Amino acid sequence: DGGITQSPKYLFRKEGQNVTLSCEQNLNHDAMYWYRQDPGQGLRLIYYSQIVNDFQKGDIAEGYSVSREKKESFPLTVTSAQKNPTAFYLCASFRGVREVNTEAFFGQGTRLTVV
């Protein structure tokens, strides 16, 4: 079945550590996005990529890094520079924001907690 997979579902990080969240899709989508969601809040865009080997900063990119070496994969690294990383992280993919009959597919999310 086609879909988008995030792992792990839960992640605990010690202060000062970098951690990497995985996002893989087999939908052949060009666009992949990372969002952060805090309790009771909306979705804030961290990074997005429209094509392999290219990505752009979103609204809250500080303290995060990404890579897009393969079309199927868009991992997110939460670095030690991110001062408040505890949140729910969502990865999404879709064909293109301006296309008709397009929709964003979201992964199940990764809940990151700093301990």
List of residues contacting other proteins (CB under 8 A): 31, 33, 35, 40-43, 45, 48, 50, 56, 58, 90, 92, 94, 96-98, 100-109
Minimum Å gap between C-beta 103 and other proteins is 4
Count each helix (H run) and each strand (E run) in the chain, helices first: 0, 11
Minimum Å gap between C-beta 80 and other proteins is 27
Beta strands in 18-68 (DSSP E): 19-25, 31-37, 43-51, 54-57, 64-66
Q: Cβ closer to other proteins: 33 or 74?
A: 33
